[in-house]
Amino acid sequence: MKLTLKKNAYGKNAINLSKIIRHPTYHEFRQISVNVSLEGDFDTAHTIGDNAKILPTDTQKNTIYALAKEHFTDSIETFGLYVANHFINNNPPVSQVTISIIEHPWTRMAFDGELHHHAYVGGASEKRTTTITQTADSVTVTSGLKDLLILKTTDSGFEGYSKDQYTTLKETPDRIFATQCEATWTYTAQHPDYTALFTKIRETLLKTFAHHKSLSVQQTLLAMGEAVLNENAEVSEITLKLPNKHHILFNLEQFGMENKNEIFIATDEPYGYITGTVSRE
């Protein structure tokens, strides 16, 4: 039987980089994690161990640090586009480059309403993300956010669902809705203002989550996606991933007490996993 090498790719993951951008009146601190993945004419490396066409992943890593000096000055999308372009233009065997970047936010400390010049608070779970995929004749940019923890204490219920002999879940018109939101979106236009749009989309996601009278996670997911597309002509499609981080009512009756939707078992696992993509027709 003849065996063939099918789709293959190689690159460097988790290239962790931080940068101080010194503005006249304050320092900006940025921290990103970059993945590089190259596809192309690399068969002979696999078949006969000929590395002539291989740009070492160590070089790929060095390239990210070197290019960041001049070209990581704005959004992660703009930097990712520059880097993808560099790899495809300088390496003939490469037919497709994928650059994924996660940005860890650091925000300047504030005292008496004044932002500090060079001290920051980090550690928030939420991250901004982008993936750039570039070939000789096409480039796609996907932007997003992940690990955005959001919760509401009411305006969420789950009733009227299908039941069988294994159903134990009680219907409720009022429950906690907690999720770790992941969103990724693509654009209708080339070179939009990535950062302004990110801020606007994030705001729309939060506002819709907060205001929606939720009959299910599924219904809120669609409402959030629709709101983003309705309010942003520059967005062509959005995918949302909303794990349902259950807070389960604890049985206080066993102690002769009534639980008026106040005490819960906060669970991480198992969790419901609701995903969906909303697109323009």
Ligand X SMILES: O=c1[nH]c(=O)c2[nH]c(=O)[nH]c2[nH]1
**Looking at the annotation, which residues are catalytic?**
12, 57, 246
Candidates 4-12, 120-128, 205-213, 215-223 — which segment interacts with ligand X by CB under 6 A? 215-223
Residue type, 36: V
We find the least distance from the C-beta atom of residue 129 to ligand X, in angstroms, to be: 25
217 near ligand X, rule: CB under 6 A: yes
Long-range contacts made by residues 220-224, C-beta under 8 angstroms, separation at least 24?
220/156, 220/177, 221/274, 221/275, 221/276, 222/276, 222/278
272 near ligand X, rule: CB under 6 A: yes
Residues 185-204 that bind ligand X (CB under 6 A): none
Q: Could you tell me if 228 and 238 are in contact, meaning their C-beta atoms sit under 8 angstroms apart?
A: yes
Say whether the peptide bond before residue 270 is cis (omega within 30 degrees of 0).
yes
216 near ligand X, rule: CB under 6 A: yes
Candidates 133, 134, 239, 244; binder of ligand X (CB under 6 A) is: 244
We find the least distance from the C-beta atom of residue 125 to ligand X, in angstroms, to be: 22
Phi, psi for residue 272 in degrees, rounded to 5? -70, 150
Candidates 77-85, 136-144, 213-221, 251-259 — which segment interacts with ligand X by CB under 6 A? 213-221
Check whether 217 is labelled as a binding-site residue. Answer: yes
169 near ligand X, rule: CB under 6 A: yes
158 near ligand X, rule: CB under 6 A: yes
Check whether 128 is labelled as a binding-site residue. Answer: no
- Alpha-carbon dihedral of residues 266, 268, 272, 278, nearest 10 degrees? 100
DSSP track, 207-250: HHHHH--BS-HHHHHHHHHHHHHHH-TTEEEEEEEEEE--EEEP
Q: Which residue has the tokens 């940019």?
A: 141
Q: Could you tell me if 150 and 164 are in contact, meaning their C-beta atoms sit under 8 angstroms apart?
A: no
Give the C-alpha separation, 30 to 161, whole Å: 46
Q: Which two tokens stand for residue 230?
A: 């309705």
Give the C-alpha separation, 68 to 64, whole Å: 6
Long-range contacts made by residues 163-166, C-beta under 8 angstroms, separation at least 24?
none
Candidates 71-79, 112-120, 126-134, 216-224 — which segment interacts with ligand X by CB under 6 A? 216-224
Candidates 37-45, 73-81, 115-123, 214-222 — which segment interacts with ligand X by CB under 6 A? 214-222
We find the least distance from the C-beta atom of residue 158 to ligand X, in angstroms, to be: 4
Check whether 58 is labelled as a binding-site residue. Answer: yes
We find the least distance from the C-beta atom of residue 219 to ligand X, in angstroms, to be: 8
| Residue with smaller CB distance to ligand X, 169 or 189 | 169
Feature table: binding site: 57-58, 158, 175, 217-218, 244
Residue list for the binding site for O2: 57, 244
**Residues making up the binding site for 5-hydroxyisourate:** 57, 158, 175, 217-218, 244
- Binding-site ranges for ligand X (CB under 6 A): 158, 169, 216-218, 244, 272
